[in-house]
């Protein structure tokens, strides 16, 4: 397997994790995750402002995910020879433009176009972020490095979305997206100053770059992808419409507080996953899928306020570490055939992740309009149970014990 000098240096450097660089990557993850999920907290106000229903406003999540799903693999292939740092900076610059357009959108069509553009930027960023963190980490700490980078997801959920929801309630949903644009400006400077440059990923054992079909044929990779599709679909079905669910349960005014509890539990989850991902990946993935299934089943059965608060905690604990666990599993399974195969698997994961999000937005909206909030949570629970079964069956290659 060949490497570029910029790849080999960071991976063999002695010492601890490169914290400034990893935290910059984590903040980039924060921006992408916040851009993706912010509509969940401001959905009712967005719908009222644009004079559309909650289900139509929820399609702002769908088109974002569609933009990512349609472009992640093609962009990963087209940019395979481009150095990673300028590529990441370019993707974040597109986020700046897309969120600014979202904040200024005069109508529903422009909003959807801006959200699609943001999704395209996410497809490019997510295809390289986990691999970037892995390459700048010391050997043996790759899982921890990915966990640090992925901390941006629960931070976005625990702090970013509640803060955006509060801004949306006090000032307006457009101001919330404008604040994301300002944060993106700061992230661009931070990445430029602290993240080391790395070259293109190493090729496979035969000096080639394996395609998607060959990568999916690697033992364990397909099972990881199936888990991604099921788990993310279940999560999105309920998360994209959490505000209408909470309003139905009589907790509409507490939406920001419930999201804060969910996000805090997610932070605790990713902290635990970060400490154990290199030693207990299977047990952690099983626990995450089980907790998510239990939480959404409880939401389907009753909207009683104590149950909703408890379910938010269990949901956060089950979901928070999932991105780290799934990306680590994909990288390990495909990485047996080289870093290029691992990056191809990462692009496939991003595509499936966002295809599941797009489908989740559509399915959740249909369920909400036709069957009510309880059906949304019940569907999420069924999908979570299916993901749990796939994880349990992937003992040998997809989700091994260590």
Is the model's pLDDT at 191 over the cut of 80? yes
Give mean pLDDT, residues 142-151. 83
Q: Are 165 and 42 in contact (CB under 8 A)?
A: yes
Q: DSSP 3-state assignment of 18?
A: coil
Decide which of 211 and 308 is more confident.
308
pLDDT of res. 117: 96
Per-residue confidence at 10, pLDDT binned at 50, 70, 90? very low
Torsion sign over Cα 251, 257, 262, 268: negative
Residue 282: CB atoms within 10 Å:
18
**Cα–Cα distance list, 177 to 30, 182, 190 (Å):** 14, 9, 20
pLDDT of res. 252: 85
**Cα–Cα distance list, 254 to 65, 85, 242, 395 (Å):** 27, 40, 11, 41
Residue 195: CB atoms within 10 Å:
23
Q: Are 92 and 71 in contact (CB under 8 A)?
A: no
End-to-end CA distance of the chain: 24
Q: Are 38 and 160 in contact (CB under 8 A)?
A: yes
Is the model's pLDDT at 387 over the cut of 50? yes
Helix H segments across 302-337?
Answer: 305-319, 322-335
pLDDT of res. 380: 95
| Residue at token pair 């080391």 | 196
Query: Tens digit of pLDDT for each residue in 66-99?
Result: 888 788 888 877 887 788 899 999 999 999 999 9
User: SS3 breakdown of the chain: % helix, strand, coil, rounded to 5?
Assistant: 80, 0, 20
Per-residue confidence at 199, pLDDT binned at 50, 70, 90? low
Give mean pLDDT, residues 134-162. 80
Give mean pLDDT, residues 244-263. 86
Query: Can you give the pTM of this predicted structure?
Result: 0.74
Return mean pLDDT, the chain: 85
Residue 213: CB atoms within 10 Å:
8
Q: At what angle do helices 108-135 and 142-150 cross, to 10 degrees?
A: 160
> What's the CA gap between 63 and 360, in Å, rounded?
11
> What's the CA gap between 159 and 221, in Å, rounded?
33
Give mean pLDDT, residues 363-367. 89
Query: Tens digit of pLDDT for each residue in 297-354?
Result: 999 998 899 999 999 999 999 998 898 899 888 878 887 776 667 777 878 888 888 7
pLDDT of res. 371: 87
Report the Cα 249 to chain-centroid distance in Å.
27
Give mean pLDDT, residues 362-371. 87
Decide which of 105 and 206 is more confident.
105
pLDDT of res. 243: 85
């Amino acid at each position: 397997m060949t490497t570029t000098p910029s790849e080999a240096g960071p991976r063999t450097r002695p010492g601890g994790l490169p914290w400034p660089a990893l935290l910059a990557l984590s903040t980039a993850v924060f921006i992408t995750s916040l851009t993706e999920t912010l509509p969940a907290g401001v959905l009712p106000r967005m719908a009222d402002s644009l004079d559309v229903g909650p289900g139509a406003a929820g399609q702002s999540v769908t088109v974002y995910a569609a933009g990512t799903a349609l472009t992640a693999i093609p962009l990963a292939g087209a940019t395979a020879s481009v150095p990673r740092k300028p590529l990441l900076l370019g993707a974040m610059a597109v986020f700046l433009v897309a969120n600014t357009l979202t904040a200024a959108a005069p109508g529903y069509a422009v909003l959807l176009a801006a959200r699609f553009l943001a999704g395209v930027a996410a497809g490019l960023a997510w295809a390289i972020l986990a691999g970037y963190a892995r390459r700048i980490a010391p050997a043996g700490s790759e899982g921890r490095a990915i966990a640090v980078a992925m901390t941006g997801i629960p931070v976005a959920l625990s702090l970013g979305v509640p803060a955006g929801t509060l801004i949306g309630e006090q000032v307006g949903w457009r101001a919330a997206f404008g604040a994301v644009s300002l944060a993106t400006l700061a992230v661009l400077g931070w990445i430029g100053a602290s993240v080391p440059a790395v070259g293109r990923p190493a090729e496979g054992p035969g000096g080639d770059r394996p395609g998607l079909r060959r990568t999916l044929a690697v033992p364990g990779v397909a099972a990881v992808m199936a888990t991604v599709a099921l788990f993310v679909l279940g999560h999105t079905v309920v998360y994209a419409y959490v505000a209408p669910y909470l309003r139905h349960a009589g907790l509409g005014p507490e939406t920001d507080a419930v999201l804060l509890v969910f996000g805090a539990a997610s932070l605790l989850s990713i902290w635990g996953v970060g400490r154990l991902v290199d030693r207990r990946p299977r047990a952690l993935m099983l626990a995450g899928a089980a907790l998510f299934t239990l939480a959404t089943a409880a939401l389907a059965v009753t909207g009683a306020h104590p149950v909703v608060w408890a379910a938010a905690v269990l949901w956060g604990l089950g979901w928070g570490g999932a991105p780290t666990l799934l990306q680590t599993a994909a990288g390990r399974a495909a990485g047996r055939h080289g870093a290029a195969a691992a990056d191809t698997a990462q692009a496939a994961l991003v595509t499936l992740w966002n295809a599941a999000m797009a489908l989740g937005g559509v399915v959740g909206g249909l369920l909400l309009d036709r069957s009510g909030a309880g059906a949304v949570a019940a569907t999420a629970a069924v999908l979570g149970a299916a993901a749990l079964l796939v994880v349990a069956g992937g003992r040998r290659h997809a989700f091994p014990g260590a």
